[in-house]
Copies of this chain bind each other. A is one copy, B any other.
Amino acid sequence: MEAKAETRPSRKGIILQEAARLFREKGYRASTLRELARRSGVKGGSIYYHFASKQEILYRIMDETMNNLLQGLEHEIREEQDPVHRLNRGIEFHIRYHLENQDETHVADTELINLGDDHRRRIVGKRAEYERTFSGILEEGTREGVMGVGNTKLASIAVLQMCTGIPYWFNEEGPLSVDEVVAQYIDFVFWGVLGRAGRRESI
């Protein structure tokens, strides 16, 4: 029912998009509905025709983001069998989605604290599910002997945490392209700081 992230012609969609941008710029609590209304091209009261509360707007942004991540990841790794390739594609998807939807993912990653208990539990559940997909890959790879991870749960959290942080410093006009960032991070995740020296295999 909801349109894709790219083209949201409806007023409701515009408000969500502007809300993500505003919340990212100032933080949820510091953002006012008056400012959101102004940016969305309506007056303050009109927001409440589309949403029951400010809180609901935040939840919609975060929930849609998590759904996109879960479905996108699943779709991306579905056909791959080899754990190394699955991890490779999973990380690439994660980074690209975060760089292509910076406002929404930033909000989803930082505003958990401002959700009510019920909403927060639902988002946390989806995050846990997303993370389990990655730890499952690391587990499988380690069991098969193509990876060597001591604690797969820890490592999967570490991988996601570092990739999630990319939009914080990435600059479109900077020297690095998205492709290069993806390549560097994947390289680092697989090989660590010691690098390829002395390894017998390559990916």
**Hey, which bits of chain A sit against chain B, CB under 8 A?**
26-27, 29-30, 87, 110, 113-114, 138, 141-142, 145-151, 154-155, 157-159, 161-162, 164-165, 169, 176, 181, 183-185, 187-201
Contacts and interface: CB of A to CB of B under 8 A. Distances in A.
Nearest to A185: B158
A155 to B, nearest CB: 5
A125 to B, nearest CB: 15
A65 B3 CA distance: 44
A116 B181 CA distance: 31
A26 B181 contact: no
A147 B176 CA distance: 22
A186 to B, nearest CB: 10
A92 to B, nearest CB: 14
A189 to B, nearest CB: 6
Tell me the number of copies of this protein.
2
Contacts of A181: 154
Contacts of A192: 188-192, 194
A146 to B, nearest CB: 8
A155 B114 contact: no
Contacts of A158: 162, 165, 185, 188
Contacts of A198: 198-201
A123 to B, nearest CB: 14
Contacts of A162: 157-159, 161-162
